[in-house]
Chains A and B, each alone.
Chain A
Amino acid sequence: MTQSDSGVSAAIGAPLVVLDHVDKWFGDLHVLQDIDLSVARGEVVVVIGPSGSGKSTLCRTINRLETIDKGTITLDGQPLPQEGKELARLRAEVGMVFQSFNLFAHKTILENVTLGPIKVRGQKKAEAEKRGLELLDRVGIAHQAAKYPAQLSGGQQQRVAIARALAMEPKVMLFDEPTSALDPEMIKEVLDVMVDLARQGMTMVVVTHEMGFARTAADRVVFMADGAIVEEGTPEEFFTNPSSDRAKDFLGKILKH
């Protein structure tokens, strides 16, 4: 049982990520519709919803891998800058874990984890490697440090990707469907790492279809459909007593099996 089971815990602080009236279109498709979302320091927000509801796009706007057409996004009080050095600096503060892992294919596991600290933070190689190995140990991959990504299983690659993001000591971690490309038996090893992170107080935005994870680790569940936030609440409220028909319909479909 985690402390966050009781919903929004007392440890949660001031807003860290704030989306204010955010709109985005892909051509005619209104993928994000007037999104207001505030994520507090230490809070774990799980975004769920049907495919094409815009939840991945929402996640990717927070470190500006997707641009927005209207509204503002602030991180720790700072609006997201335009493309350039300043944006790069800001992205270093935001960890991102992708559905398809995206480990650097031509670099070893350890190099994947140390590249950011060395190139972006200017750390010494030895120092970065020491910290990198600690992080790899934390996600259970330290003995594979000299291998290349393709030699690891999907679950192992995703744990390395988490370690790579953590190496930058981010203020917030974004997870874009981190287990959707994994075999069922590998999902648990990744979720375990994520639950640990949540317990240690990391601020997290997690887009996922793993309802078990949402129940265990989320402080708040945000339900999206057709580009809009339909409802949000504690996992307890949301899973036992959803208020909107859209959410009832969605939960009816996915919780049946």
Chain B
Amino acid sequence: MEPVIDNLDLYWSGFLTSLEFIVYSLVGSMLLGTLIAAFRVSPIPALRGFGSTYVTMIRNCPLTIVLFFMAFGLPELGINYSYFTFGIVGLVIYTSAFVCEALRSGINAVPAGQAEAARAIGLTFSQSMREIVLPQAFRSAVPPLGSVQIAMFKNSAVAGAFGIGGDLYSVGRTLTSARGFEYIPVLTGVAIGYLVITLSAGAALAVIERKVAIAR
């Protein structure tokens, strides 16, 4: 494990970069996914159509293709940002389709009477979503949302392969190809870095799930 121990500072900064990338993608995909889910259950047919088209297109498209569009397609259109930003945008777009569907399963689990009661006291559609339906939907969607987000954490390594730079994946590549270290110890170090993130996320999820449980 010498290459890891000798380069702990590099691993640490890679870990922080990956974590930053993941946090942005997490927040972005939750927000966008929630919006698309609201579209998919909205009373306005155009919004419903947009929501289901979005999910169908994005969910069925390989992540690498989405990232290629970001990294090479958008610059062709004259849109230029750092790969870090493109990586986040690509991952947010891709993950939001899955967030939407996980959340929709939660929305479907909220008894119809809850929304009816909300409408009956005069809440508008968006008020009843915000106040009544989504808060309950999130609670029952915690396990699937957790799986979606853990998958996203790992997908951040795919974005790393596109060269967001300085993240855990890039550290592994730098140490092996540029500095010639052996793969097994270097990649083990990278794997441990990701495991720290995903395992703590799993533990956090268990806590969240207990905290937000509501009795019926």
- Which residues of A are interface residues toward B (Cβ below 8 A)? 63, 65, 83-85, 88-96, 98, 100, 102-106, 115-116, 119-120, 148, 150-151, 161, 164-165, 168
Residues of B near A150 (CB, < 8 A) are 214-216
What is the CA–CA distance of A225 and B137 in the complex, to the nearest angstrom?
38
Kindly provide the distance from the CB of A9 to the nearest chain B CB, expressed in whole angstroms: 28
B43 at the interface (CB under 8 A from A): yes
Cα A115 to Cα B120 with chains together (Å)? 12
Contacts of B122 in A (CB 8 A): 88-93, 116, 120, 168
Which A residues are CB-close (under 8 A) to B215? Answer: 105, 148, 150-151
User: Which of B29-37, B124-132, B141-149, B173-181 forms part of the interface with chain A?
Assistant: B124-132
Least Cβ distance of B158 to chain A in Å?
A: 37
User: A119-B131, A148-B215 known; A96 and B120 CB under 8 Å?
Assistant: yes
- CB of B19 within 8 Å of the partner chain: no
Q: Known contacts A148-B214, A148-B215, A150-B215: does B124 contact A104 (CB below 8 Å)?
A: no
Given contacts A85-B124, A148-B214, A168-B121, 7 further A-B contacts (CB under 8 A): A91-B119, A96-B120, A104-B114, A104-B132, A120-B123, A150-B215, A165-B121
Chain B residue with the shortest CB-CB distance to A116: B121
Asked whether, in the complex, the Cβ of B116 is within 8 Å of the Cβ of A65, the reply is yes
Cβ A104 vs Cβ B117 within 8 A: yes
Number of A-B contacts (CB under 8 A): 77
Q: What residue in chain B is nearest A168 (Cβ atoms)?
A: B121
Residues of B within 8 A of A120 (CB): 121-123, 127
B142 → A minimal CB distance (Å): 13
A119 to B131 alpha-carbon distance, docked (Å)? 9
In-complex Cβ contact of A119 among B116, B127, B139, B214 (8 A): B127
The residue that B216 contacts in the complex, of A89, A105, A168, with Cβ under 8 A, is: A105
Residues of A within 8 A of B132 (CB): 104
Contact assessment for B123 and A65 in the assembled complex, using a CB-CB cutoff below 8 Å: no
Subset of 8 A-B contacts with CB under 8 Å = A88-B122, A96-B117, A105-B136, A105-B214, A105-B215, A106-B139, A120-B122, A164-B117
Is B118 an interface residue, CB under 8 A from the partner?
yes
> Is B78 at the interface (CB under 8 A from chain A)?
no
* A106-B118 Cα distance, complex, nearest whole Å: 13
Complex: how many Å from CA A63 to CA B122? 10
Partner of A94, one of B43, B120, B216: B120
Q: How far is the CB of B44 from chain A (nearest CB, A)?
A: 9
Contact B118–A104 (Cβ < 8 Å): yes
Which B-chain residue is minimally distant from A120 (CB atoms)? B122
> Does B49 belong to the interface (CB within 8 Å)?
no
Instruction: Tell me whether A100 and B118 are in contact (CB under 8 A).
Output: no
B121, A164: Cβ atoms closer than 8 Å: yes
State the Cβ distance, A218 to closest chain B Cβ, in Å. 23
Interface flags for B86-121 (1: CB within 8 Å of A; 0: not) read 000000000000000000000000010110111111
